[in-house]
Amino acid sequence: MVNRYHAPVAPGRSVFTVVRLDPFDHTQIEEIATVAARAFHFDPFFAYLSPAHLLRARGLAIFWRAQAAAFAPAAEAHGARGPDGRLVGVALWIRPGAYPLPASAQLRQTLGAARALIPRPRALIDGARYLLAIERVHPHEPLWYLALLVADPSMQRSGIGTALQQQILDRADQEALATYLETQNPDNIAYYRRFGYEIVHELKPVKAGPPLWTMRREPRQQD
């Protein structure tokens, strides 16, 4: 079943529709990978791992295709579609108690990352250090984990990120559960603080690489 509603956007912006995605659908996995690759192309972390634009574009598509497929059994996925039906935003949430992922899913993630970074062997080592650092500090208690939130560059600042988060944030508040995420873009810190997230850790697993932040949002009391 697909849940749809028209989200309000800034004047002059096209209306987008929020939909429930099927994370097992191969066509939708390809769409998710395409949006994520476009959104992360100039991200400081991925630019550090893969400085060449063409290699980065190819690697990001491979990486996010593998990530989306690995997340599928544990994920709730929502997307935003533009007036033409094109997917322009994605939120992938890992359900409480479903992290860490099963060994088979982790293997899929690892193989996808290896394929994405194989043109730069040094990047494989650096990327592994980041992943290990993330794993070490990931909370152990049940919570909602925002594994991916992206908007197509052509639709950023149109309210997509808010619309894609709100349903799960409301649910987390009702369930009295925290939400958690990682970001490697310093510009995102102020954005996520608007929703109640605060920094938990600043990680710098590779001396020459960019930092990465973990952020947590405690549930808000219900009236």
25 within a domain of the structure (yes/no): yes
Q: What is residue 149's predicted lDDT score, i.e. its pLDDT?
A: 98
- Which pTM was predicted? 0.92
9 within a domain of the structure (yes/no): yes
66 within a domain of the structure (yes/no): yes
Count of the separate structural domains present in the chain: 1
- As averages over each run of 10 residues, the pLDDT of the chain (223 residues) reads 36 75 96 98 96 96 97 97 97 97 93 92 94 96 98 92 97 98 96 98 96 98 76
44 within a domain of the structure (yes/no): yes
User: What range defines the domain where residue 80 resides?
Assistant: 5-125+141-177
CATH at residue 147: 3.40.630.30
106 within a domain of the structure (yes/no): yes
> What string of DSSP letters covers the chain?
----EEPP--TTSPP-EEEEE-TT-HHHHHHHHHHHHHHTTT-HHHHHH--SHHHHHHHHHHHHHHHHHHHGGGEEEEEEE-TTS-EEEEEEEEPTT--SPPHHHHHHHHHHHHHHHTT-HHHHHHHHHHHHHHHHHS--S--EEEEEEEE-GGGTTSSHHHHHHHHHHHHHHHHT--EEEEE--THHHHHHHTTTEEEEEEE--STTSPPEEEEEEPPPPP-
182 within a domain of the structure (yes/no): no
89 within a domain of the structure (yes/no): yes
69 within a domain of the structure (yes/no): yes
